[in-house]
Amino acid sequence: MSSKSGEKELYEPIKNDLKTLLGSYCIEEAYPPQSRPFQYEDNPYLEITAEKRTISETLKKEFSDETFYILSAEEKIPDIMGFMRRKLSSPRELITVEVKAKPIKLMDIFQARLYQEVFKSTLSFLISSKGIPEEKVRFVTSKNGEFIKGKVIILQYNGHSYGKGIFEINPRLFNDLPESLKKYFKLQEKI
């Protein structure tokens, strides 16, 4: 099985599990029930965008058409895109997700950072079912390599494997997480 076909199999479960994670740990509990008073039925809203020739109208309203056009011409677009609103009074935060079915390489991190910068996403994820090798973690956390990572959140996806959290993070990358997501990983340590 090629890594591209392996990636495709990960899109839907990662989208659903990430949506649950963000909904549980990033959105204020007092947020009104879904789709009220907003036109979107989901908060957070995530959509699989890999290999799409057209982007949904819902995403087009949030992301720049110019950005979509430029990246489509380059044949580059995040695997999953979306947005969320943490509180009723807060602005929408854009989300980009790059998925890999192989161990993470430096170019994968740089690609996720490119999406973060170009799309101006508040949350930019790079999620791999194989994780990130230790030498890559050491490099991106060093002074020489920190420019590659930016604020990209690098996670390992375990699915619903027995005895493991759905998502894992290398302890060296933990401090780079937003506070709301740190709660999830602290809870995972106690289980």
**Residues with Cβ within 8 Å of residue 90, at least 6 apart in sequence:** none
Task: Report CA Rg, the chain.
Answer: 16
Q: What is the pLDDT of residues 154-180, one digit of tens each?
A: 999 998 776 677 999 999 999 989 998
Percent residues over pLDDT 70 in the chain? 84
- Answer with the residue of higher pLDDT: 27 or 161: 27
Average of pLDDT values for 97-120? 94
Q: Over 50: is that where the pLDDT of 191 sits?
A: no
134, 94 contact by CB (below 8 A): no
Q: What is the DSSP letter of 87?
A: S
- Provide the mean pLDDT of the chain: 84
Most confident segment among 31-45, 106-120, 158-172: 106-120
Q: What is the DSSP letter of 29?
A: T
Instruction: Band the pLDDT of 4: cuts 50, 70, 90.
Output: low
**Rounded Cα distance, 49 and 152, in Å:** 19
**Rounded Cα distance, 146 and 144, in Å:** 6
Instruction: Band the pLDDT of 3: cuts 50, 70, 90.
Output: low
Average of pLDDT values for 5-21? 92
- Residue 75 pLDDT: 75
The structure's pTM equals 0.87
Q: In the structure encoding, which two tokens stand for residue 5, read together?
A: 């076909």
- Residue 53 pLDDT: 63
Partners of 82 in beta bridges: 46, 95
Q: What values do phi and psi take at 156, rounded to 5?
A: -105, 135
Alpha helical stretches, state H, the chain: 3-25, 57-62, 65-73, 106-119, 134-140, 146-149, 179-190
